[in-house]
Amino acid sequence: MILATILVFAMHLGFATLEAGLTQAKNTVNVLFKNLCIIAIGLLTYAGVGFSLMYPGADFAGGVAGFAGFGLQPPPEANDIAYANGAYTYWTDFLFQGMFAATAATIVSGAVAERVRLGSFLIFSTFFVALVYPVAGMWLWGGGWLAELGFHDFAGSTIVHGVGGWGALAGVIVLGPRIGKYRPTRIHDEASGDTRVAIKMVPIRGHSMPLATIGVFLLWFGWFGFNGGSVLSADPGAISKVLVATCIAGAGGIVTAVAASWMVQGKPDLSMGLNGALAGLVAVTAGADLLEIGQALEVGLAAGILVVLAVMLLDRLRLDDPVGAISVHLVCGVWGTLAVGLFSAEVSFLHQLAGVVAVGALSLSTAWGSMKLLDLTMGMRVSEDEERRGLDIEEHGSQSYVGLGGLG
């Protein structure tokens, strides 16, 4: 479990490099700074309130809410065989779960990159990680009403990735697109002689595909702990099958995302392939313990197609997500959660749908509400001049690539 915790921690480096690579060079310090702070916010808030909210023990109100008290509350058996049947200690339990907690805000970070005000984002992240994610987790993993219903989410396609994905969607809606992403363009119809104005999507390229690629490989590496550790034991049979299902789904996501994007764009797109890998990994996370290997492959293959379609749909809706976080974590998280109900006789599809809707309602409403409040009070978005100059200079007074002034 400690080794799995270390692997999940490495995922935060993956998120940092992926987000940095898929955004412009002039915002790299800002992206890295947010990812650094999210680790601190995640661990400290989870120690202060999150762990006790997520696992309230006997202090529970109808399976919906509970709180065991501020700060870490180690039981008498925290370090011995009586805790978790000797599989791990209380302290390992906290640290493993705490690494998951920070992930929800990290997912939001990528979607709102390049135009969000730093202070407002950090306040939002503190609220979201301290209260929203632990409550969603409590409903299932803390023995709440979703657990009683029979909802199944093995390692968090909905509870982790979905929560972050809904938060990302709220952020993109509140902030609006980056400057220049969707440009009005006059189109002249020679047959009729009419001129109309259409919105043209203009790609804003990330500055470093090597960084983005390293990020995806680091995230996949971390998934060995994310899903493998969620077995919550050192059972070699269970862990090995979970990890084979995980990797097969990730590979399937690459194949279909590459094929779909190649067919649509006429050329192979590396960024779509990278997001295809993540799409498969996110989707299989809900059922990696129940799905047969062939079923895991089908989940991953479908996720690879879905992520490409979702990216295209979001652009049509003018929802600007620089790293594809909504398409990967929300869309494919929903698909993977529902797929458990489709493929496994042990799980009800309707119960899976109910869980997706409930967690979505909680996450989207609280994220949107808190961001709107911050927008009205502090402001969520930087000014146009600040955005054009880059957040590295405007928010931090520094640059990632000194001496490469033209890199942006």
What is the fold, at CATH topology level, of the domain defined by 2-396?
A: Ammonium transporter fold (1.10.3430)
What pLDDT does residue 193 have?
67
Alpha carbons 238 and 258: distance in angstroms, whole number: 31
Alpha carbons 294 and 306: distance in angstroms, whole number: 18
CB atoms < 10 A from the CB of 265, how many? 11
Contact 332, 339 (CB under 8 A): no
Domain boundaries, the chain: 2-396
Alpha carbons 280 and 283: distance in angstroms, whole number: 5
Helices of type H across 2-89: 2-21, 28-45, 51-54
What is the tens place of the pLDDT at every residue in 265-314?
999 999 999 999 999 999 999 999 999 999 999 999 999 999 999 999 99
What pLDDT does residue 405 have?
52
Alpha carbons 98 and 33: distance in angstroms, whole number: 19
What pLDDT does residue 190 have?
67
Alpha carbons 372 and 171: distance in angstroms, whole number: 9
Contact 242, 292 (CB under 8 A): no
Alpha carbons 89 and 283: distance in angstroms, whole number: 30
What pLDDT does residue 406 have?
47
Q: Kindly give the parts of the chain with pLDDT less than 50.
A: 406
Contact 190, 171 (CB under 8 A): no
